[in-house]
């Protein structure tokens, strides 16, 4: 269809008898186009006295586009906002709240921003790969500054649009350079993983992970599915604080996972969205990635600062690709830049500077670790209190101790969709329909109320 448009000026209707003002734009050969398009549903015949003209009616060319469903996670926040009940509780998205259930900007972030203002830094474009100081401290935070892969330049690090954008960039890279290769996702996984690889046109399938019977890891199922995957598959692993289950492999299990991945010549692909949030320690939470790296494996890691630095809306994270040589790393990086350029050109600077200032400064770095321990500690406290409240109130004898074995921001309650609906419809507790609740959005004061809601939903809804 040519770009010519024909529209009625404000208020004029195609069926009105008043004299419409008709505005043409685009090509001058409008008469020709009108003849061609007269049969289109967008056009109708309009009689204005002596002349008869075809004009656009109020039928959109987007008529055939269906309404998309709300996002299963971010859509929960939209529904929460619309609820006017004062008891409402948003346990949907994994976003940290204070005990007063308010969003939290870390003190170290405020200090870094003050520094940035004082320095009067400019807003020039960043290079395609992002802020050099950011990429350096980010790779060091993940692998450890003295890690040989860092020292020997074997890591290609490129600043990404947080965890999601970094995963998406990796998806584009896999699609281009490993055509046909499959990504294996844990069952279940963060819901957006499927969207990311679908949109990247990368085929994916799932490996067993969660066992509802034990409310734990189906380790044998996981190993067997990774073994059965076509050689050279990408195995997506949550570096720590698995979302949504809160169940991580033990160090011994990680070793066995690495064994089978190596045997099958698969490529590990870590999603590290919660470094520091699982245990409160940045190093402990990076141990899975470091274990694989120490074996000399080539791997991908998508990193996010949304949670551990509370930089949700700054969209700051990175994609790291570890190669077996510095030369390969340089080539990989050049191709990542080539993919990034037409997608978003170059990444935003504000969050990158915050991270570079905090992680790159020994004083602020230590303050950050303290604040992160506080955040992780508050989540552990509400986890304990929720378990205590459930155990005290539920007289059925059900064992709720699985909640204490889960780590990170979330608890996977085992509530099914109907029970989760009851949580929202009756109790105004907003959560994802897979039974996940974000403990980062819960306060000690609300634990008893939440326990009542869970017990009612669990026992009275099937
Ligand atoms: N990877 C995992 C495993 C995640 O849980 C999330 C965020 C991301 C990546 C991406 O986060 P980022 O792009 O902000 O860095 N998951 C959240 C939010 C916290 C979301 O769904 O976007 C969640 O509630 O699951």
- Give the pLDDT score at 49: 56
Enumerate residue ranges in the chain where pLDDT < 50: 1-38, 41
Whether 118 is covered by a domain: the verdict is no
Residue 164 Cα to ligand 1 midpoint, Å, equals 7
CB atoms within 10 A of CB 393: 13
What average pLDDT does the structure give for the chain?
A: 90
Of 409, 445, 404, 451, the residue nearest 429 (C-alpha): 451
- Give the pLDDT score at 48: 56
Q: Are 171 and 234 contained in the same domain?
A: yes
Total domains present in the chain: 3
Q: Taking CA 280 as the corner, what is the angle to CA 279 and CA 284, rounded to the nearest 5 degrees?
A: 55
Does the annotation mark 368 as catalytic? Answer: no
Cβ of residue 163 lying under 6 Å from some atom of ligand 1 = yes
- Give the pLDDT score at 82: 95
- Give the pLDDT score at 52: 61
Sign of CA dihedral 182, 187, 190, 194: positive
Whether 111 is covered by a domain: the verdict is no
Does the annotation mark 271 as catalytic? Answer: yes
Whether 67 is covered by a domain: the verdict is no
The span from the CA of 60 to the CA of 371, in Å, is 52
CA atoms lying within 13 Å on the CB side of residue 24: 10
Whether 119 is covered by a domain: the verdict is no
- Give the pLDDT score at 308: 96
DSSP conformation letters of 338-404: HHHHHHHSS--SHHHHHHHHHHTSHHHHHHHHHHHHHHHHHHHHHHHHHHHHHHHH-TT----THHH
Whether 258 is covered by a domain: the verdict is yes
Measured from the Cα of 73, ligand 1's closest atom is: 21
- Give the pLDDT score at 91: 97
Query: CATH code at 280?
Result: 3.40.640.10
Percent of the chain that is helix, strand, coil (3-state, to 5) = 45, 15, 40
- Give the pLDDT score at 5: 39
Measured in degrees and rounded to the nearest 5, phi and psi for residue 322 equal: -90, 125
Q: Which of 111, 154, 182, 190 is catalytic?
A: 190
Residue 327 Cα to ligand 1 midpoint, Å, equals 32
Going by CA atoms, what residue is nearest to atom 1 of ligand 1?
Answer: 273
pLDDT tens-place string over residues 427-458: 999 999 999 999 999 999 999 999 999 999 99
pLDDT tens-place string over residues 343-370: 999 999 999 999 999 999 999 999 999 9
Does the annotation mark 213 as catalytic? Answer: no
Q: Are 148 and 290 contained in the same domain?
A: yes
Q: Of the candidates 315, 335, 360, which is a domain's last residue?
A: 360
Rg (CA), the chain: 27
Measured in degrees and rounded to the nearest 5, phi and psi for residue 264 equal: -90, 5
Whether 395 is covered by a domain: the verdict is yes
Going by CA atoms, what residue is nearest to atom 14 of ligand 1?
Answer: 306
Q: Which of 111, 154, 182, 307 is catalytic?
A: 307
Pair 163, 306: CB distance under 8 Å = yes
Q: Are 202 and 316 contained in the same domain?
A: yes
Q: Of the candidates 360, 395, 421, which is a domain's last residue?
A: 360
Q: Which residues lie across from 46 on neighbouring strands?
A: 53
Q: Are 297 and 429 contained in the same domain?
A: no
- Give the pLDDT score at 285: 96
Q: Are 413 and 315 contained in the same domain?
A: no
| Residue with tokens 């290609």, as numbered in its chain | 156
Helix (H, G, I), strand (E, B) or coil at 281: coil
The span from the CA of 323 to the CA of 321, in Å, is 6
Q: Are 322 and 264 contained in the same domain?
A: yes
Pair 336, 321: CB distance under 8 Å = yes
- Give the pLDDT score at 46: 55
Pair 161, 171: CB distance under 8 Å = no
Q: Are 300 and 348 contained in the same domain?
A: yes
Q: Which of 218, 225, 271, 285 is catalytic?
A: 271
- Give the pLDDT score at 310: 97
Residue 401: enclosing H or E segment and its boundaries? none
Going by CA atoms, what residue is nearest to atom 8 of ligand 1?
Answer: 163
Q: Are 313 and 293 contained in the same domain?
A: yes
Pair 337, 184: CB distance under 8 Å = no
Q: Which domain holds residue 11?
A: 4-56
The span from the CA of 164 to the CA of 193, in Å, is 9
Query: CATH code at 400?
Result: 3.90.1150.10
Residue 163 Cα to ligand 1 midpoint, Å, equals 7
Neighbouring residues of 450: CB distance < 8 A, sequence distance ≥ 6: 89, 91, 386, 389, 429, 437, 442
Q: Are 220 and 350 contained in the same domain?
A: yes
Strand ranges in 344-409 using DSSP code E only, listed in sequence order: none
Q: Are 175 and 315 contained in the same domain?
A: yes
Whether 269 is covered by a domain: the verdict is yes
Q: Of the candidates 332, 360, 388, which is a domain's last residue?
A: 360
Pair 145, 358: CB distance under 8 Å = no
Q: Are 177 and 285 contained in the same domain?
A: yes
- Give the pLDDT score at 227: 98
Structure tokens at 110: 């405020």
Whether 180 is covered by a domain: the verdict is yes
Cβ of residue 275 lying under 6 Å from some atom of ligand 1 = no
Q: Are 184 and 211 contained in the same domain?
A: yes
């Amino acid at each position: 269809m040519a770009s010519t448009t024909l529209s009625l000026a404000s208020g004029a209707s195609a069926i009105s008898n008043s004299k419409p003002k008709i505005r043409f734009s685009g090509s001058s050969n409008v008469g020709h186009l009108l003849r061609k398009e007269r049969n289109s549903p967008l056009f109708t015949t309009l009689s204005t006295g002596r002349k008869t003209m075809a004009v656009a009616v109020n039928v959109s060319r987007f008529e055939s586009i269906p309404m998309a469903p709300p996002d299963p996670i971010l859509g929960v926040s939209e529904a929460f906002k619309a609820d006017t009940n004062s008891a409402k509780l948003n346990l949907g998205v994994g976003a940290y709240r204070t005990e007063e259930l308010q969003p939290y900007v870390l003190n170290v972030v405020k200090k870094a921003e003050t520094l940035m203002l004082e320095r009067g830094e400019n807003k020039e474009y960043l290079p395609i790969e992002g802020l050099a100081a950011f990429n350096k401290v980010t790779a060091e935070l993940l692998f450890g500054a003295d890690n040989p892969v860092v020292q020997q330049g074997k890591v290609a690090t490129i600043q990404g649009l947080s965890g999601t954008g970094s995963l998406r960039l990796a998806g584009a890279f896999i699609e281009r350079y490993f055509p046909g290769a499959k990504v294996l996702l844990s069952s279940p996984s963060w819901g957006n993983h499927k969207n990311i690889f679908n949109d990247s046109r990368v085929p994916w399938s799932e490996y067993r992970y969660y066992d509802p019977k034990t409310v734990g890891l189906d380790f044998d199922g996981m190993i067997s599915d990774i073994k059965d995957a076509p050689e050279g598959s990408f195995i997506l692993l949550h570096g720590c604080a698995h979302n949504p289950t809160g169940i991580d492999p033990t160090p011994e299990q990680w070793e066995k996972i690495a064994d089978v991945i190596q045997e099958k010549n698969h490529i590990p692909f870590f999603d590290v969205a919660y470094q520091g949030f699982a245990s409160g320690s940045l190093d402990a939470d990076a141990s899975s990635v470091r274990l694989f790296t120490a074996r000399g494996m080539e791997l991908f890691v998508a990193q996010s600062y949304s949670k551990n630095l509370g930089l949700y809306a700054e969209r700051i994270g990175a994609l790291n690709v570890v190669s077996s040589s510095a030369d390969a790393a340089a080539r990989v990086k050049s191709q990542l830049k080539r993919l990034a350029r037409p997608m978003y050109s170059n990444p935003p600077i504000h969050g990158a500077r915050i991270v570079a200032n905090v992680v790159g400064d020994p004083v602020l770095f230590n303050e950050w670790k303290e604040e992160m321990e506080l955040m992780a500690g508050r989540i552990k406290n509400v986890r304990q209190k929720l378990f205590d409240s459930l155990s005290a109130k539920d007289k059925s004898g059900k064992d709720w101790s699985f909640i204490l074995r889960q780590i990170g921001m979330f608890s996977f309650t085992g509530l099914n969709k109907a029970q989760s609906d009851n949580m929202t419809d009756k109790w105004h507790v907003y959560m994802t329909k897979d039974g996940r609740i974000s403990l980062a959005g819960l306060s000690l004061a609300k634990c008893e109320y939440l326990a009542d809601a869970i017990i009612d939903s669990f026992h009275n809804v099937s």
